Amino acid sequence: MLEARLAEAAILKRLLDSIKELVTDANFECNEEGINLQAMDNSHVALVSVKLSASGFKKYRCDRPLPLGVNLGSFTKVLKCAKDDDVCIIKAADDADILSLTYEARNSDRIAEYEMKLMDIDADTLNIPDTDYDARVSMPSAEFTRIVRDLSQLGESVRIEVSKEGVRFISDGEAANGNILLRQTDDDAPPEGVTIEMNQHVNLTFSLKYLVNFAKSSTLSNVVQLMLSNDVPLLVSYDFNQGHIRYYLAPKIGD
């Protein structure tokens, strides 16, 4: 069985907001180390990977590995019934087809109980190889959100170029183009500053639609890391106290 007590429902609410438009149904894989989710979008262009560590919960018990197949739309609706600062307890019995959620109000005696149907989801688990990326950029997550939202007004794609100069985001739309250069901030470390590590010049093009979607995770962390190597998927990573959310995005190819 699973019993997990989360100090604030906000974390789960924000996580669901970060993935619900990318993936419809997914397994939350629970084991004694915590809860993991890995899912690819229908078009096999993006993959999201979430980890919530057992140590991030006020109380956590999972006797044996338990996949909780969830419709993310339904889960989002049930979580909307929780206030951000409610304590959130999720429970599931072994082989059960129901997930129960309890929201305990912080400053009153209100206790709300909800149940959600679980589903069998037959999804392959993918092996994500460890990659030595050619470039690693760390920046304020709000800055990344602004850049991808701004450029998505102009065109469908962004070219990300990492060089000695810094990291440049370039959009070349039909009617307008734009580019934003971020230089490494020498006097300011993350979360406020920008750090750039580069072994090799990187030049890759990505769909802005996906990046705008990923940027929703800025509610979970003040810092985002972009990991890039030529011709391999981009890794966009947000770390927070209880775990992380990582997105992989296949680059656009050819001319």
Partner 1 sequence: SKQQGRLDGFFSVK
Of 101 and 228, the one with the shorter C-beta distance to partner 1 is: 228
In angstroms, what is the minimal distance from the CB of 39 to partner 1?
12
Contacts of 237 (CB under 8 A, 6+ apart): 224, 225, 226, 227, 244, 245, 246, 247
Contact present, 64 and 86 (Cβ < 8 Å): no
Contacting residue, 83, 212, 232, 244, with partner 1 by CB under 8 A = 232
122 binds partner 1 (CB under 8 A): no
Would you count residue 255 as binding partner 1 (CB under 8 A)? Answer: yes
Q: What is the rounded CA–CA span in Å between residue 229 and residue 204?
A: 8
- Contact region with partner 1 (CB under 8 A), list: 80-88, 112-120, 126-134, 185-193: 126-134
Stretch that binds partner 1, among 3-11, 108-116, 118-126, 213-221 (CB under 8 A): 118-126
- Please tell me whether residue 248 binds partner 1 under the rule CB under 8 A: yes
Q: Which residues fall within 8 angstroms of residue 146, CB to CB, at 6 or more apart?
A: none
Q: Give bridge partners of residue 198 from the DSSP assignment.
A: 135
Phi then psi for residue 54, to 5 deg, are -55, -35
- Stretch of residues binding partner 1 (CB under 8 A), selected from 71-79, 97-105, 192-200, 244-252: 244-252
Residue 252 binds partner 1, judged by CB under 8 A: yes
Nearer to partner 1, 57 or 206 (CB): 206
Q: List the one residue out of 170, 192, 196 whose CA is nearest residue 183.
A: 196
Neighbours of 183 (CB within 10 A): 11
Q: Interface with partner 1 by CB under 8 A: which range of 70-78, 110-118, 127-135, 187-195? A: 127-135
| Cβ nearer to partner 1, comparing 27 with 218 | 27
Write each residue from 32 to 71 as x if it is in contact with partner 1 (CB under 8 A), else as -, in one continuous string: --------x--xxxxx------------------------
Piece of 56-64, 93-101, 122-130, 220-228 that binds partner 1 (CB under 8 A): 122-130
| Contact mark string toward partner 1, 128..167, x via CB under 8 A | xx---------------------------x----------
In the complex, minimum distance from the CB of residue 36 to partner 1, in angstroms, rounded to a whole number? 13
- What gap in Å lies between CA 225 and CA 211, rounded to an integer? 13
217: nearest Cα among 8, 2, 22: 22
Separation between Cα atoms, residue 166 and residue 150, nearest integer Å: 19
Please give the radius of gyration of the chain, using alpha carbons only, rounded to the nearest integer. 20
Of 233, 225, 218, 207, whose CA–CA distance to 152 is shortest?
A: 207
Host H or E run for residue 28: strand 25-31
Q: Does 228 bind partner 1 (CB under 8 A)?
A: no
Binding residues for partner 1 (CB under 8 A):
40, 43-47, 124-129, 157, 205, 207, 232-233, 248, 250-255
